[in-house]
């Protein structure tokens, strides 16, 4: 019977995507179909250890059963009302998120970029109404090599030519200073400065960690000059660095904190602007909104995602396994590795220029069963879900070591 059966027609996922999809991404040629914990499987049944975790969106691991249960249960009751009406998931979500993050007020959004845009609007309005800056003159200080999203306002203050090129004109009102340089930041402050927007760790730039004391110095500068400190913790927050928020490594608190990605455990777009009442308190009905922001399905999913993060000690695991994985990466022999850096399970391996670029090594790692992401030409990001075990870390280290010390992989076509 099997010899006479008509063979199934294989669907050309990659070909159709290349033909019909906009070419704004350059993914590795692997077509994933399911995931569980740290593992994902492709349509051919091959298993991979996910070492990107959706840029922290899947901190809790793929398809966490408790989050999935919350999603399924709520989707059968009520999914969307818009904020024109109240729903029974919103208030508990606000209460639990504020209690966990020590925030005073929340503005619910859907994506990281939307949270950043919302913060920019709120901080500007606060600058006009509270700080007394002349209308239309507010300035926000940002850092070079930042990544805060892809919207027009955000890319306008990017220092990445590829991100900016061909998309202007851009919105004014931003001053760019070097990341990690508190003196340069202080020199950029003037009478129209209303806030500072930075990432505690620059993830997309290659997991760049500022010098010790930098965040504390920025916090002190903002306090002294009466500015709003906005920390973009969309990638660093909710456990990724071995703390709930990366700001905790220097014992500071931002005036506005942006969270997203892991806020839903990868099940649904959920983000939030966390703030004290002095900043978000300036917004009045009709001045800002979002049809899906704060919808009951998002709130139910986020509540479950936060619970498992804490109750299953994923934050502590990120600290322990992150330190173990970092030590293992630093122990890889050979002359291709220039630097290993990171905090918690937000790690990066920077290769020497002579190694030939990180993309070819990510392709080789894919063939070895690991999915990593190259960035800025020579850097490999290694950021698995926070549920990774020591045994799984050893499995990954064995393969990463073999690829980085083995024959030079062929260049990516």
Residues with a catalytic annotation lie at: 147, 232, 261
Neighbours of 339 (CB within 10 A): 14
d(CA 263, CA 111): 10
Chain centre to alpha carbon of residue 61: 15
CA-CA distance, 368 to 362, in Å (whole number)?
10
- Close Cβ partners of 45 (under 8 Å, ≥ 6 residues apart): none
Query: How distant, in Å, are the alpha carbons of 146, 154, 273, 283, 351 from that of 184?
Result: 16, 21, 27, 31, 29
Report d(CA 216, CA 351) in Å as an integer. 30
Q: What's the CA gap between 204 and 275, in Å, rounded? A: 24
CA-to-CA distance for 62 and 267, rounded, in angstroms?
A: 9
* Residue 212, number of CB atoms within 10 A of its CB: 9
Calpha distance 163→166 (Å, rounded): 9
Distance between terminal CA atoms of the chain?
41
Q: Are strands 256-259 and 228-232 parallel, antiparallel or unpaired?
A: parallel
Q: Which residue, chain included where needed, has tokens 């099940």?
A: 267
List strand residue ranges (DSSP E) for 267-345, in order: 271-275, 337-343
**Strand residues in 30-94 grouped as ranges (E):** 32-36, 39-42, 47-50
Q: Sheet harboring 337-343: ordered strands across?
A: 337-343, 346-351, 379-382, 373-375
**Residue 340, class by beta-carbon neighbours within 10 Å (0-12 exposed, 13-18 middle, 19+ buried)?**
buried
Length of the chain: 413
Alpha carbons 117 and 110: distance in angstroms, whole number: 12
Closest to 200 in 3D by CA, of 148, 272, 264, 156: 148
């Amino acid at each position: 019977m099997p010899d006479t059966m008509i063979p199934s027609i294989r669907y050309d996922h990659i070909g159709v995507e290349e033909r019909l999809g906009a070419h704004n991404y350059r993914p590795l040629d692997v077509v994933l179909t399911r995931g569980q914990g740290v593992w994902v499987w492709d349509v051919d049944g091959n298993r991979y250890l996910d070492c990107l975790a959706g840029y922290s969106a899947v901190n809790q691991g793929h398809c966490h059963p408790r989050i999935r249960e919350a999603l399924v249960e709520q989707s059968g009751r009520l999914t969307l009302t818009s904020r024109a009406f109240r729903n029974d998931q919103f208030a508990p979500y606000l209460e639990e998120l504020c209690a966990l993050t020590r925030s005073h007020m929340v503005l619910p959004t859907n994506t990281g970029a939307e949270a950043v845009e919302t913060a920019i609007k709120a901080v500007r309005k606060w600058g006009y109404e509270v700080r007394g800056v002349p209308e239309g003159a507010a300035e926000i200080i940002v850092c070079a090599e930042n990544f805060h999203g892809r919207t027009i306002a955000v890319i306008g203050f990017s220092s990445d030519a590829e991100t900016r090129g061909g998309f202007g004109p851009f919105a004014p009102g931003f001053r760019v200073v070097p990341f990690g340089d508190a003196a340069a930041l202080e020199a950029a402050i003037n009478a129209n400065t209303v806030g500072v927007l930075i990432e505690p760790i620059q993830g997309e730039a290659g997991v760049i960690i500022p010098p010790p004391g930098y965040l504390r110095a920025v916090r002190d500068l903002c306090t002294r000059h009466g500015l709003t400190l906005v920390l973009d913790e969309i990638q660093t927050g909710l456990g990724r660095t071995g703390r709930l928020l990366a700001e905790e490594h220097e014992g500071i608190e931002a005036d506005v904190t942006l969270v997203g990605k892991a806020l839903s455990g990868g099940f649904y777009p959920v983000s939030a602007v966390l703030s004290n009442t002095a900043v978000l308190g300036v917004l009045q009905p009709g001045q800002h909104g979002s049809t899906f922001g704060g919808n009951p399905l998002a709130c139910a999913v986020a509540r479950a995602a936060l619970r498992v993060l804490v109750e299953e000690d994923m934050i502590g695991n990120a600290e322990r396994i992150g330190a173990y994985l970092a030590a293992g990466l630093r122990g890889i022999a050979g002359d291709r590795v220039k630097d290993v850096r990171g905090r918690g399970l937000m790690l990066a391996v920077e290769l020497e220029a002579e190694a030939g670029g990180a993309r070819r090594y990510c392709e080789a790692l894919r063939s070895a069963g690991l999915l990593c992401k190259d960035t800025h030409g020579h850097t490999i990001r290694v950021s698995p879900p926070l549920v990774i075990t020591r045994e799984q870390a050893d499995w990954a280290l064995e393969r990463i070591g073999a690829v980085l010390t083995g024959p030079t992989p062929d260049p990516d076509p």
